[in-house]
Amino acid sequence: AYSRRFHCLMMVDYIFYQTNSHFYYKYQKNHTLIFTKESIIRNCSCLADIRDCDYNLANLMCNCRTVLPSTMEKTNYNSDLTIWFTDTSVLEMLLNFTRVCDLKLSFCGTAPLPTEYLTIWGLRKLRVKNKVKGQFPEQSVTISSSSNHEKEDFLAMHNKDRQMLVYISFLDTSLFNGYSLLKSYSVENVSSITEHFPSLLYSDVFSTSDNKSYVVTFIY
């Protein structure tokens, strides 16, 4: 299941406007925002950027619906996804072993988070925000590969049969405690995760198949 083709939608949707004699483009795209408050999970489609952790505003401005944890399915997100969370159990439900290209995580809780690892496929851009007014407001990580520039990636999107680049990231959830700056470390050209990282606890879920080149990133 993990080897299915997956491409990030890095394209944007534009709307063409005309005012008097001027034409202009406007970025027009709904964003997916998922947040949890108490035990309720809301999945929203928002046109505007909503201030982090402002649940009331999100309910007001976005098109939201409640998701029952029992019926929740892991989904792939090939554009952007924002999650506001207060504990790691929800992140685990929403994100562990899913595919997300462009992820923004905002920690809205106050209790320190334990060190746990989230495995995210296909992650190319991560933004992290803590509510805690510490020294570290918004931080971000962009993951790319030296063998595959963004532009080529985009152009080769439909005929990348030669060698399949697979991005996989491991994210330490204690990074939201803001004790230090966000760091990331990528290892490229990994042909087999089991072979190169034998001590990863659950490395057995990674297929050792043919012609895949992994970009393995640790975010902490």
Ligand X SMILES: *[C@@H]1O[C@H](CO)[C@@H](O)[C@H](O)[C@H]1NC(C)=O
- Give me the residues that bind ligand X (CB under 6 A), please: 30, 32, 34, 43, 45-47, 61-63, 67, 72, 75, 88, 91-92, 94, 96, 116-119, 146-147, 162, 173, 188-189, 201-202, 210-211
Minimum separation from the CB atom of position 152 to ligand X (A): 12
Minimum separation from the CB atom of position 3 to ligand X (A): 10
Minimum separation from the CB atom of position 20 to ligand X (A): 27
Which lies closer to ligand X via its Cβ, residue 137 or residue 179?
179
Which lies closer to ligand X via its Cβ, residue 184 or residue 189?
189
- Cross-strand bridge partners of residue 186: 217
Which lies closer to ligand X via its Cβ, residue 5 or residue 133?
5
- Cross-strand bridge partners of residue 102: 80, 125
- How many CB atoms within 10 Å of residue 179? 10
Minimum separation from the CB atom of position 48 to ligand X (A): 6
Inter-CA distances, 45 with 9, 62, 81, 170, Å: 17, 6, 10, 27
CA dihedral 60, 98, 123, 1 (to 10 degrees): -140
Q: For residues 179 and 114, is the Cβ–Cβ distance under 8 A?
A: no
